[in-house]
Amino acid sequence: MPQTGGERVGVYPGTFDPITKGHADIIRRGAKLVDRLIIGVTTNMSKNPLFTPEERIAMVEREVASLELDNVSVVGFNALLMKFAEKQGATVIVRGLRAVADFEYEYQMAGMNQQLNAGIETVFLMADVSLQPIASKLVKEIAMFGGDITPFVSGPVRDDVLARIDKVGRMGDY
């Protein structure tokens, strides 16, 4: 849906495998910065996802619905981010930062994206201090070794992760 009538459209892209409380925080805050925020769920098979793209889209849609934000939608994509953003009529890419390591990677990506389309700005939001350590990769690792992921994801996401791990098998002695 291209931009219309001065509407400010933002895209918050990610793999969301699984969506965490940190992601939800960025969604909630990012939604305040734009008229319409599109959560772009990318396939990104290089990250070896636990969930299929369709499962991740459904999970993100459920979490977004629980936030009760009427200006947020969820769209799956398997394309270059800037092409996806252009197609959505976005003028802003929203990215969350947890630590210095995130900044270095995101800074490089923002520079490359600017080379591809200088008309789309990247906005960085610092994760809430209490949520900064949360990463989807770590949530999966903790769950795989039988740890409690309740502090990092919503109850329904925890249930999804545990059900999937029951199928693929746990690791280690717990």
Alpha-carbon span 91 to 96, nearest angstrom: 17
Alpha-carbon span 39 to 63, nearest angstrom: 11
Given the residues 29, 62, 98, 164, select the one marked as catalytic: 98
Give exposure, 132-169, as e/b (b: 16+ Cβ within 10 Å): bebebeebbeebbeeeebeebbbeebbebbeeebeeee
**Residue 167 annotated among the catalytic residues of the structure:** no
**Residue 29 annotated among the catalytic residues of the structure:** no
**Residue 66 annotated among the catalytic residues of the structure:** no
Given the residues 21, 23, 56, 158, select the one marked as catalytic: 23
Given the residues 21, 136, 140, 158, select the one marked as catalytic: 136
Encoded tokens for 132: 């900064």
Given the residues 47, 83, 137, 170, select the one marked as catalytic: 47
**Residue 23 annotated among the catalytic residues of the structure:** yes
**Hey, which residues are catalytic here?**
23, 47, 98, 136
